[in-house]
Chains A and B, each alone.
Chain A
Amino acid sequence: MSGPFRTPSGGRIDRAAPLSFTFDGARYVGVAGDTLASALLANGVHLVGRSIKYHRPRGILSAGAEEPNALVTVIRDGGRVTPNLRATQIELYDGLVTVSQNRWPSLHHDVGAIAGCFSPLFPAGFYYKTFMGPRWLGSNWAWTRVYEPLIRRAAGLGRAPTSPDPDHYASRYAHCDVLVVGSGPAGLCAALAAAQAGGRVILCDEQSEMGGSLLSETTAIVDGKSALDWIADKIDLLSSQDRVTLLPRTQAFGYFHDNFIALAERVTDHLANPDPASPRERLWQVFAKQVVLATGAIERPLMFPDNDRPGIMLAGAAHTYLERYGAKPGHRAALVGSHDTIYRAALALARQDVVIAGIFDNRSHPDSDLIPLAREAGITVTTGATIIGTSGRLRLSKVRLGVLSDDGSARDAGDLACDHLLMSGGWTPSVHLFSQSRGKLAWHPDKQAFLPARSHARVWSAGTCAGDNELSEVIENGFAAGENAARAAGLMARPRVAVAVENAQTLNGGSLGELPHPNRHSRKMAFVDFQNDVTSEDLKLAVREGFQSIEHVKRYTTTGMATDQGKTSNMNALGIMSSQLNIPLPDVGLTTFRAPYTPVTFGTLAAHSRGDLFDPIRRTPIDSWAQDNGAVFEDAGPWKRARYFPKAGEDMHAAVRRECRIVRSAVGVLDASTFGKIEVVGPDASEFLKRLYVNDFRNLEIGQCRYGVLLNEAGFVIDDGVIGRLAESTFHVTTTTGGAARVLHLMEDYLQTEFPDLACWLTSTTEHWAVIAVQGPKSRDALAPLVEGIDLGKASFPHMSLAEGKVAGVPARVFRVSFTGELGFEVNVPADYGRSVWELIWQEVCLYDGCAYGTEAMHVLRAEKGFVIVGQETDGTVTVGDLGFGWAVGKQKQDFVGKRSLSRSDMIKADRHQLVGLQTVDPKIVLEEGAQITIESSSTAGAAALGHVTSSYWSDALGRSIALALVSGGRKRRGERLHVPMPGGAIEVVVTAPVFYDPKGERLGG
């Protein structure tokens, strides 16, 4: 038997398929079709959790996604631990292991519940007020000594898992004519109408089974059939159509611009033994021409003192548990409310032999066909009645009744024993997704509800989410929405066959806000927001303290800010605000509905973008050699670059010193393949480059190259590189490693939109070429034996030459360039030959006791020569003049990108930050890059810095530290002593020229 509270028959469960599960270590048996919540109820378990602030015992409030209390952790195995799942949505499987949360040592004996005794410590605005302890104790005293320990003890939902998630998650895009969200009667009919019109339709529903509210409908006859048979027919009809996709267990959680909707599909969570090849969840990103929202409505709790004990449940939820899951909420029921749902629930419970202790209708003159039926069934119905308190430590044992007077007060009318209390304050249309679509909501006083009005999105709402009430109306409007959506998507709607609905119960009523009770200012708590433990008193206090906007009250009291986003509480909070401020409810305003509708796992959002697939890595053709030879790598954008090649026992500094020394004395090779490369081709190629770069390229001879600087239109340096002319109309342009894509984008922009008259084409060749820099006095000797067709001689191939030939038998472009200040070459070979040519060059280099060097040595060598790195010496506010590169600017050029800006007044100020060298007075001190520079050794606070250190290294060649810096009016300060203030005291430095090594450039000429 699957629990003492199971009904003998009926519902959507299979009593012949028992499933064993545990909750907090206790073993129970449920059946196929159960949720964890229904299975627990069938076993008589109501106590499922503790509340977040006061650790109050809590039970199952609802039967759906709106559940604020029954949050549990599901443990599948080591890495598969999922906290904070709603028991109302967890499908039972054999062997399911679940534990409660937020309690210690156990759910029944929870030490944290003592927090409830200190409830005056947790008033509205608690989080703000705690920062203001008594001043004489110091600003942080109250926080660190009292409040933080209390919060840490009390706070938190479930624990995050500690090991990586072993599951994988899928993601896909989908396009459709009509997406229907919600498969209750309105959604089913909308999907049918759209499918009949021939549309591509996606119908999704968060539940395991399609049908929505009809799954617990037992009285209505639809088209001459029971509701369940009618659903089965319609689902069959839909699933037989290729153009219809049915997605159960799929929550539409976000509605984004242009009808782009995100769905989260739970693929394996309901299975005892999931296929390891299957993803756990799947993210659907749907482009929908039209959307029909049929998202239903959520029942509201009532606010009376101690309205949160286990055993107190929404009346509609109890009806669902009974009719859909065959689970009775107890033996003896009391019902209270302002909506006819309480009568429907009572009648259904009575049919299953649950004793109805009484129905207490808040309304003085309720008018429902169900009332005479209830009375006929022997149920006592009291109108103008309420509940003013409840008792029972871990489970409701009795309620205290109240009689409502015309003046709005309540009079004590004694106790009534019961083991559960079902309440209904009416139903709130679920307009979350509509609101996310940036649709406007309109207040409908007759329905006491906010309903969808105008939207920019192509969206239709139908059913109870749109304020429909009677089943026939819901079905009619569902069809209409589906037809409208299909027509708007450009399809032809077919004529509809009318659907006859008989014997449907019509339920009316509802209220917003707190119920009257005599002990108004007692410490009894009437909860508005169950998940965040916000009471009606908290809201009233906030209003008394002067808060008027619901957005402020929400943040001040945290109402509606829990993971359930106030699904059951927001309207009641507005009701309290409205009566406290004495203004109409719609004037209080409405907080914004935000995605996700229910919490979504990070796994689903990340999908395949994790581990190696999270962020792509770029590796050069020579990368594998560097790995084989012990390189230590660093990131350069998406690239991995060899930083240095340590020999046994070397740290980075020792390795870099050795690499620098060998490049300066013999020869070194560097993998420079990451440099951006753009081939610029066409009759106007030279004119194009002239217009883009500060330099003049028209007089660049074939076989020559030139250092080029690129500005943005505002006049600031954004990239640099060497540009070589291979032929009259062919240029080989190099860019910085990080700037390659940006420069190509900028070039394309100018070529396509500003200079479309130029006949010129741009091709990224970064990945086409492997680049091997061979640098050092022995570089020519090492390289020459491998080179065919190019005479590397001093006169025939001078500095800044370029030629095509063969290197190691492979077609190559050889540049004579130097980023070290030494004689040097850069060999470009097609990427596929990169490693083999590198290895052959390496053999030659080894003959001269050369080395491979990495980016760190490259930086030191270039800094010794004062060569800048764009992005290190520059930050987007630095001009060619600031860098001292005025020589590079083509003097005859009328115009180039950024030229006009160079004459703006700010760009020619004498106090601009200019590139200088810095030498520390103590040569052993290496400055920190980024450190500020001041005149005084101890500047007054608030005084502006003169500039900052951009590069700083130990220079082995000079036997001292060197640094480059940007300093205000720096070029005029040569010889001045400045200071670099650091935590250990200011470091004295001398301003120098930004070239430290071989200032005359004699080493290049060799």
Chain B
Amino acid sequence: MLLIRCPHCEMERPEIEFRYAGEAHIVRPPDPAAVSDEAWADYLYMRANPKGLHAERWRHIHGCGRFFNAVRHTVTDKILKTYKAGEPKPDLGAFATSADR
């Protein structure tokens, strides 16, 4: 089980308090009607699914209930950073060295 730091509670809590919520920084188009079928399908279904660093959404569902984002390495399962939803996506390249060490 992972220990995950909730950026709202500012605490490390066990993974069972959290729920995974998919890739982060996929923004719902503000005017969906103006989006092409292809672009809408991309928004609905296409995900990066990388082997390596992944910015993803989590919710502290059995804690404060808030959604937040995390940078996780999909090979090691290490969570390298958590941050509040709405904050900019971190530069994943900056984590690469520490994760692959």
Residue ranges of A at the interface with B (Cβ–Cβ < 8 Å): 173, 256-258, 260, 285, 287, 438, 456, 713-714, 745, 748-749, 752-754, 756, 894-895, 899-901, 904-905
Do B61 and A752 touch across chains, with their CB atoms under 8 A apart?
no
The complex places the Cα of A456 from the Cα of B40 at a distance, in Å, of: 38
The complex places the Cα of A852 from the Cα of B59 at a distance, in Å, of: 41
Do A901 and B76 touch across chains, with their CB atoms under 8 A apart?
no
Do A256 and B35 touch across chains, with their CB atoms under 8 A apart?
no
B48 at interface by CB-CB < 8 Å: no
Residue on B nearest A173 in the bound complex, by CB: B14
Given known contacts A257-B2, A748-B59, A749-B59, A438 and B37 CB-to-CB distance under 8 angstroms: no
Given known contacts A257-B2, A258-B78, A285-B1, A901 and B59 CB-to-CB distance under 8 angstroms: no
The complex places the Cα of A260 from the Cα of B79 at a distance, in Å, of: 14
Q: Pick the residue among A258, A456, A895 that contacts B31 (CB under 8 A).
A: A895
**Nearest chain A CB to B18 CB, angstrom units:** 12
Q: Can you list 9 residue pairs at the A/B interface with Cβ under 8 Å?
A: A257-B77, A258-B1, A438-B76, A745-B61, A753-B67, A899-B32, A899-B33, A900-B32, A901-B44
* Contact residues in B for A438 (Cβ distance below 8 Å): 76
Do A904 and B86 touch across chains, with their CB atoms under 8 A apart?
no
The complex places the Cα of A713 from the Cα of B61 at a distance, in Å, of: 21
Q: Pick the residue among B1, B44, B67, B78 that contacts A749 (CB under 8 A).
A: B67
- List the 3 closest A-B pairs by CB distance, nearest first: A900-B32, A257-B77, A456-B76
**Nearest chain B CB to A751 CB, angstrom units:** 9
Binary flags per residue of B18-31, CB closer than 8 Å to A gives 1, else 0: 01010000001101
* Contact residues in B for A753 (Cβ distance below 8 Å): 57, 67, 85-86
The complex places the Cα of A756 from the Cα of B27 at a distance, in Å, of: 13
* Contact residues in A for B44 (Cβ distance below 8 Å): 713-714, 901
* Contact residues in B for A713 (Cβ distance below 8 Å): 28, 44
B65 at interface by CB-CB < 8 Å: yes
Residue ranges of B at the interface with A (Cβ–Cβ < 8 Å): 1-3, 14, 19, 21, 28-29, 31-33, 35, 37, 40-41, 44, 57, 59, 61, 65-67, 75-78, 85-86
**Nearest chain A CB to B82 CB, angstrom units:** 14
The complex places the Cα of A901 from the Cα of B40 at a distance, in Å, of: 8
**Nearest chain A CB to B35 CB, angstrom units:** 7
**Nearest chain A CB to B96 CB, angstrom units:** 14
Do A260 and B2 touch across chains, with their CB atoms under 8 A apart?
yes
Do A258 and B3 touch across chains, with their CB atoms under 8 A apart?
yes
* Contact residues in B for A899 (Cβ distance below 8 Å): 32-33
Do A745 and B59 touch across chains, with their CB atoms under 8 A apart?
yes
Residue on B nearest A899 in the bound complex, by CB: B32
Do A287 and B3 touch across chains, with their CB atoms under 8 A apart?
yes
The complex places the Cα of A287 from the Cα of B40 at a distance, in Å, of: 43
Residue on B nearest A454 in the bound complex, by CB: B101
* Contact residues in A for B77 (Cβ distance below 8 Å): 257-258
Query: Which of A438, A753, A905 is most buried by chain B, counting CB atoms within 10 A of its CB?
Result: A753
Do A748 and B67 touch across chains, with their CB atoms under 8 A apart?
yes
Do A900 and B3 touch across chains, with their CB atoms under 8 A apart?
no
Do A752 and B31 touch across chains, with their CB atoms under 8 A apart?
no
The complex places the Cα of A752 from the Cα of B57 at a distance, in Å, of: 12
* Contact residues in A for B66 (Cβ distance below 8 Å): 752
* Contact residues in A for B32 (Cβ distance below 8 Å): 895, 899-900
Do A904 and B2 touch across chains, with their CB atoms under 8 A apart?
no
The complex places the Cα of A895 from the Cα of B1 at a distance, in Å, of: 40
The complex places the Cα of A904 from the Cα of B37 at a distance, in Å, of: 6
Do A895 and B33 touch across chains, with their CB atoms under 8 A apart?
yes
Do B85 and A256 touch across chains, with their CB atoms under 8 A apart?
no
Given known contacts A258-B3, A714-B44, A904-B41, A749 and B31 CB-to-CB distance under 8 angstroms: no
Q: Pick the residue among A173, A745, A752, A754 that contacts B19 (CB under 8 A).
A: A745
The complex places the Cα of A186 from the Cα of B75 at a distance, in Å, of: 31
The complex places the Cα of A901 from the Cα of B37 at a distance, in Å, of: 8
Do A257 and B76 touch across chains, with their CB atoms under 8 A apart?
yes
* Contact residues in A for B31 (Cβ distance below 8 Å): 895
The complex places the Cα of A260 from the Cα of B67 at a distance, in Å, of: 24
* Contact residues in B for A714 (Cβ distance below 8 Å): 44
The complex places the Cα of A894 from the Cα of B33 at a distance, in Å, of: 8
Do A260 and B1 touch across chains, with their CB atoms under 8 A apart?
yes
